[in-house]
Amino acid sequence: MAEFDLVIRGGTVVTGTDIMRCDVGIRAGRIAALADHLDAAETLDADGLLVLPGGVDTHCHLAQPWPEGGRDEESFISGSIASFAGGTTSAICFSSQFKGHPIRDTLTDYQARASSAMMDYSFHQIITDASDAVIHEEIPALIAAGIRSLKVFLTYDPLYLDDRQYLRVLSAARRHGALVTVHCENYEAIKWRSEALLAAGHTAPKYHAWSRPKIVEREATHRAIALAELVDQPIQIFHVSCPEAAEEIARAQARGVKVWAETCPQYFVLSAADMDRPGFEGAKFICSPSPRGPEEQAGLWQHIRRGTLDVVSSDHSGSSYEGNVGKRRAGSDAPFTKIPNGVPGLAARLPIIFSEGVSKGNIDVNHFVRLIATNPAKLFGLYPRKGSIAIGSDADLVLWDPTKKTTITNALMQQAIDYTPYEGLEVTGWPVATLSRGRVVMRDGKVQAEPGSGQFLARGAYDMIRPTGNLPDGFDASQYP
């Protein structure tokens, strides 16, 4: 009788807290045993390798429709391939809302597209229009259906919410039990500076950074937190790019506010100088907030070690460099304001953070696992099914060679986007096999999985995002929307 379907043999198992030299027994897609020695008809040799929980990427844009028409080039199929290639097994993507339209207009189509995924997935719901119907009917229905996080933008036309609308979303989230995630940059300030830059003839890609200095991120981060504090609603700050914004978060955390924050690989290895490459090449590096510089990179590592920033997501948001649907959508001499934002990074996330973090001595390997798997799974209600190696957890695993040196190329990223901003970057540490619910979906770079084999991860209520009960004057204004 085969007790296990598969045994991972001889590896070093690493969780967010522990390191164990043991075998991993897998049965029916879940982890059934951790022990000195396990037998099975089928084994996977992990001698000399680390066995890590599969990466959980809680911020990635796949097949997302744009308000101006078109959609992200990365589909749920190509995105799954890139994920598995890079050791990620679950992702949370974004269901859109177009201003003035109900959420259900876009959600049904998006669910149909996502059903082709090979990795497990869930959605954040973007709220661009805090109308009565959205606040009172659609948000409660979404949360009941397991879409338990809402995303708001404090900048970008036509996505941004003003403070009043943001307060309404926070209130709805508090009433129904969801996490709110926030893109923090000051809308008016960026608009004002962009118009001035264009008027001065400063149109090249590098001026993207000039249009949104750190101050606009710091201000919006402070405001996003203050308003969340007013409502007593837990939030996560998306893609923190600089220590100045992280300081605002650390101060709020120190006074007991439930605010968490993520950062992304691009803020550790890219800089504003990349956007100043010759010709149009700088467009490859345009994302928001803007990549900064070496000083900010060092400051972010400090905030990771302090725990201010506890999640690293990819913010995979790819637009190809060649052709006319991606970065050149508005032409090869388009001003920076017309170049689509975002960089691809699904497959690069784990290798870059392991290499820059663990191999270079910034963090230990348990901390790495927490950043890329355990903490995102906990914050978004996927734990302990995802994000750990424990009895009963899904057998989502990565066999990791901690010493393998690799030069990143776009071919290795296995994505639909035709370039990687990390081309030529040398990394130490690389995934050699990925398992999703016990299935070997990647081995030595070869991805094999059936479209549609991914599962939607409906997220129920969980304690971590319960409000604290600390309200100014004890008055719960969220009950009177």
- How far is residue 230's CA from residue 218's CA, in Å, rounded to a whole number? 18
Peptide bond into 158 cis (omega under 30): yes
Minimum distance, C-beta of residue 287 to Zn ion, in the bound complex (Å): 8
Choose the binding region for Zn ion from 50-58, 150-158, 307-315, 369-377 (rule: CB under 5 A): 307-315
Number of residues that bind Zn ion (CB under 5 A): 1
Tokens of 424: 């030529």
Q: Name the closest residue to Zn ion (Cβ).
A: 315
In the complex with Zn ion, which residue's Cβ is closer, 204 or 379? 379
Site for Zn ion contains 262 (CB under 5 A): no
- How far is residue 196's CA from residue 281's CA, in Å, rounded to a whole number? 23
- How far is residue 437's CA from residue 27's CA, in Å, rounded to a whole number? 9
Q: DSSP label at 321?
A: S
* Rg, Å, the chain Cα set: 22
In the complex with Zn ion, which residue's Cβ is closer, 150 or 389? 150
- How far is residue 480's CA from residue 321's CA, in Å, rounded to a whole number? 48
- How far is residue 313's CA from residue 265's CA, in Å, rounded to a whole number? 8
Minimum distance, C-beta of residue 264 to Zn ion, in the bound complex (Å): 9
Choose the binding region for Zn ion from 101-109, 284-292, 309-317, 444-452 (rule: CB under 5 A): 309-317
Minimum distance, C-beta of residue 59 to Zn ion, in the bound complex (Å): 6
In the complex with Zn ion, which residue's Cβ is closer, 220 or 363? 220
Minimum distance, C-beta of residue 181 to Zn ion, in the bound complex (Å): 9
- How far is residue 243's CA from residue 309's CA, in Å, rounded to a whole number? 10
In the complex with Zn ion, which residue's Cβ is closer, 96 or 194? 96
First and final C-alpha spacing in the chain: 60
Minimum distance, C-beta of residue 472 to Zn ion, in the bound complex (Å): 31
How large is the angle between the packed helices 187-199 and 214-231, nearest 10 degrees? 160
Choose the binding region for Zn ion from 68-76, 267-275, 312-320, 361-369 (rule: CB under 5 A): 312-320
* CB-based contact 169:161 (threshold 8 Å): yes
Minimum distance, C-beta of residue 327 to Zn ion, in the bound complex (Å): 16
CB atoms within 10 A of CB 305: 14
In the complex with Zn ion, which residue's Cβ is closer, 296 or 315? 315
Minimum distance, C-beta of residue 97 to Zn ion, in the bound complex (Å): 15
| Binding residue for Zn ion, selected from 57, 72, 120, 315, defined by CB under 5 A | 315
Choose the binding region for Zn ion from 111-119, 127-135, 144-152, 311-319 (rule: CB under 5 A): 311-319
In the complex with Zn ion, which residue's Cβ is closer, 229 or 315? 315
* CB-based contact 238:289 (threshold 8 Å): no
**For binding to Zn ion (CB under 5 A), which residues are involved?**
315
